[in-house]
Amino acid sequence: MSVIVLKPGLLSTLQDAGRPGHAALGVGRAGAVDGPAWQLANALVGNFSGEAAMECTLLGPKLKFTKTTVLALTGATMEASVDGQPIPLWTRCQLPAGSVLELGGMSVGCRAYLAVGGGFDVAKVLGSRSTDLHARLGHANGRALRAGDELPIGASTSPASAHDNNELTSLPWGVDPHPWFDFALQPLGLSPGKHSHFLDETSQQTLHREKFILSKDSNRTAGRLEGHTLNLRQPLELISEATLPGTLQLPPSGQPIVLLAEAPVTGGYPRIGQIAAVDLPRLAQRRPGDAVCFRQSTLDEAVRRLHEREQRLAKLISTIERRLKQTAH
Amino acid sequence: MTRSAALQTSAVLPAIQLEPMAEDALLLRFGDTIDPSLNAHVHAAAAHLQQRFPALEYVPAYASLLVRFDPAQWPSHDERSPHQRLGDAIMAALADLSMAVAESMLIEIPVLYDGTDLSEVATLTGFSIEDVIVRHVAMKYRVAMLGFAPGFPYLLGLDPALAVPRRADPRQRVPAGSVAIGGQQTGIYPAELPGGWQLIGRTPLRLFDVATDVPSRLAPGDRVRFHAIDQATFQRLAEAPSA
């Protein structure tokens, strides 16, 4: 049972929760840049063990399913159709064997997640199925998917409905995306970084008051911000130390860079802030050209918000699990 | 007795600054220079903490150690944040850190010294090519940290006379196995990567291979020695299954 990639879209990769535990060897975590969207797509198809899903960027792929498959699409908004028939997002659909799924360009947001019942069952590398494009780790030596790729699907714990396997069906309910997708491009919480106080006064104000624009040079490693140049009161010569997703760095060009899921494990640029972990998926869903602005926050607030989100997400996932069981009976 | 113990500790271990860096990350800063003894403290602390708190992830660098933790396992308590609680536990654990840690591994790296930039390094340093090689194999190095790419070691211990600036025009593709000098450091490219260091040779050994039980040949804190090999030995080692 497998999926055949007919067209890969702009940049499609397989992602799970990432590859923790190897940073000391120079291996970053990678993983889905919009974690909640990835988790909810999985939950909707009955995957509760961190299965790999497909992360699609700006323009989705065209895929053929050899067997009856359940799938769910979350994250960015786009047209999705099965053999020409539109299917809904943020719910679960069942496709007959031989179906062709076509995902269009994303109209809102930057990244969509496609989960299939049983998950994409490619070999794990260092404990994860995530593709790390920079480190070339994961499926097919860490490259993006391309036409002709055949991806195995794992055994589903949530079997396809037995009523009629030859018909395209979807659940009568779905997940409300609003708590999980930032349609309003809200300001991102920013707590101070080690070198924030080296910013000159104008730059301090610019950072917290002005709108930046996400550059088209952004990728899974980093979001590059344009529109304003920030300056330090004095140049800093720093030695390399560990870096993390969410760190706002200031290279000599003065254009801030936010590290994302595929962040390198070490670096030596001044750190002028840390974006709240709960706001990173929101940043990852911004499109090149979208506005990015910050509001002053603290790490303690970020910890609190992360805890609250994890509780809400866990509750929603257990509700989905319960309702899926009811639907099956 | 307590006082002398405290004095001994402070004589051994530099003051550590705790810097909360992210929701799940606390940075231990030992200093802000590239210094072999400072870096040795980092590795000793990492090994010590690894034993006490094996569930945490440690990322050593030149003069700092990042600790990643699950904030849900260190919830706020008595008005102390997760970072404060973890920081207190770490500082308590480091109070009995002894520098008498087990000798680290010594890894031998065979190198065919035929690098594209070898003659430029000779010109820049004023040595003959043979002297550059002799000075490069004479030293014992220490893996200060790995980074940049999986398995890329930043090695301390280069003969200061061999320190040469990075190339003004970095290469898009440096071949896997390249042994290079960048400033005061030397390193080995584990895969084909872009890079601006001066290439002096190449090793037939595979430095990073996910198919093996231990994916990286080098670990932070390991000691490294290079030895020169000829073309025939390079070929033989490159074709050996353990390369």
The ipTM assigned to this model is 0.94
Residue B3: predicted pLDDT: 31
Strand-pairing partners, residue B27, are B19, B66
Nearest chain B Cα to A24, which residue?
B59
Mutation pick from A191, A266, A304, A307 vs chain B, by most beta carbons of B within 10 Å, is A266
CATH fold of the domain at B2-94: Gyrase A; domain 2 (3.30.1360)
3-state secondary structure of A110: strand
- Does residue A197 sit at the B interface (CB-CB below 8 Å)? no
pLDDT in tens, B130-150: 999 999 999 999 999 999 899
Q: Which helix (H) or strand (E) holds A276?
A: none
Nearest chain A Cα to B55, which residue?
A21
Residue B9: predicted pLDDT: 37
Quick one: tokens of A3?
């999926």
Domain definitions of chain B by residue range: 2-94, 106-239
Quick one: tokens of B79?
């008005």
Q: Which CATH architecture has domain B106-239?
A: Beta Barrel (2.40)
Of B64, B66, B146, the CB nearest to A26: B146
Please, which residues have CB within 8 angstroms of residue B103's CB and are 6 or more apart in sequence?
A: none
Q: What is the SS3 string spanning B63-120?
A: CEEEEECCHHHCCCECCECHHHHHHHHHHHHHCCCCCCCCCCCEEEEEEECCCCCHHH
- Burial level of A202, CB count in 10 A (0-12/13-18/19+)? exposed
Query: What does A30-80 look like in DSSP terms, one character per residue?
Result: ---SSHHHHHHHHHHTT--S---EEEEESB--EEEESS-EEEEEEEEEEEE
3-state secondary structure of B157: coil
* Percent helix, percent strand, percent coil in chain B, to nearest 5: 30, 30, 40
Contact A306 B216 (CB under 8 A): no
Nearest chain A Cα to B83, which residue?
A300
Residue B8: predicted pLDDT: 35
3-state secondary structure of B12: helix
pLDDT in tens, B190-226: 999 999 999 999 999 999 999 888 899 999 999 999 9
Per the listing, tokens 């535990």 go with A21
Q: For helices A299-328 and A35-44, what crossing angle results, to 10°?
A: 10
Contacting B residues, span 61-100, partner chain A, CB-CB under 8 Å = 61-64, 66, 68, 71-72, 76, 81-83
Quick one: tokens of B161?
């006379």
Residue B169: predicted pLDDT: 86
- Does residue A174 sit at the B interface (CB-CB below 8 Å)? no
Residue A96: predicted pLDDT: 96
Give the span between the Cα atoms of A49 and A198, in whole angstroms.
Answer: 44
Query: What does A114-135 look like in DSSP terms, one character per residue?
Result: EEETT-B-PPPBTTB---BTTT
All CATH 2.40.100.10 domain ranges in chain A, comma separated: 188-297
Amino acid (one-letter) located at B116: T
Quick one: tokens of A97?
């064997």
Give the span between the Cα atoms of B16 and B97, in whole angstroms.
Answer: 13
Q: How confident is the model at residue B1 (pLDDT cuts 50, 70, 90)?
A: very low
Contact B22 A244 (CB under 8 A): yes
Q: Are the beta carbons of A238 and A269 closer than 8 angstroms?
A: yes
Q: Can you point out the beta strands (E) in chain A?
A: 2-7, 12-15, 53-57, 62-65, 69-82, 85-86, 92-95, 100-116, 150-152, 169-170, 188-191, 212-214, 222-226, 241-242, 247-249, 257-259, 266-267, 271-275, 291-292, 294-296
CATH fold of the domain at A188-297: Cyclophilin (2.40.100)
Cα A102 to chain centroid, rounded: 20
Give the span between the Cα atoms of A103 and A75, in whole angstroms.
Answer: 13
Instruction: From first to last of the 329 residues of chain A, give the pLDDT tens digit.
Output: 799 999 999 999 999 999 999 999 999 999 999 999 999 999 999 999 999 999 999 999 999 999 999 999 999 999 999 999 999 999 999 999 999 999 999 999 999 999 999 999 999 999 999 999 999 999 999 999 999 999 999 988 665 555 557 899 999 999 999 999 999 999 999 999 999 999 999 999 999 999 999 999 999 999 999 999 999 999 898 999 999 999 999 999 999 999 999 999 999 899 999 999 999 999 999 999 999 999 999 999 999 999 999 999 999 999 999 999 987 65
pLDDT reading at B92 higher than 70: yes
Is B2-94's fold the same as B106-239's? Answer: no
Of A242, A267, A306, the CB nearest to B64: A242
Residue B108: predicted pLDDT: 97
Q: Nearest CA of chain B to the CA of A241: how many Å?
A: 5
Q: Are the beta carbons of B69 and B75 closer than 8 angstroms?
A: no
Residue B68 with chain A: CB contacts under 8 Å: 20, 23
Percent of chain B with pLDDT strictly greater than 90: 78
First to last CA, chain A: 25
Residue B4: predicted pLDDT: 32
- Does residue A23 sit at the B interface (CB-CB below 8 Å)? yes
Amino acid (one-letter) located at A71: L
Q: How confident is the model at residue B2 (pLDDT cuts 50, 70, 90)?
A: very low
- Does residue A22 sit at the B interface (CB-CB below 8 Å)? yes
First to last CA, chain B: 53
pLDDT reading at B76 higher than 90: no
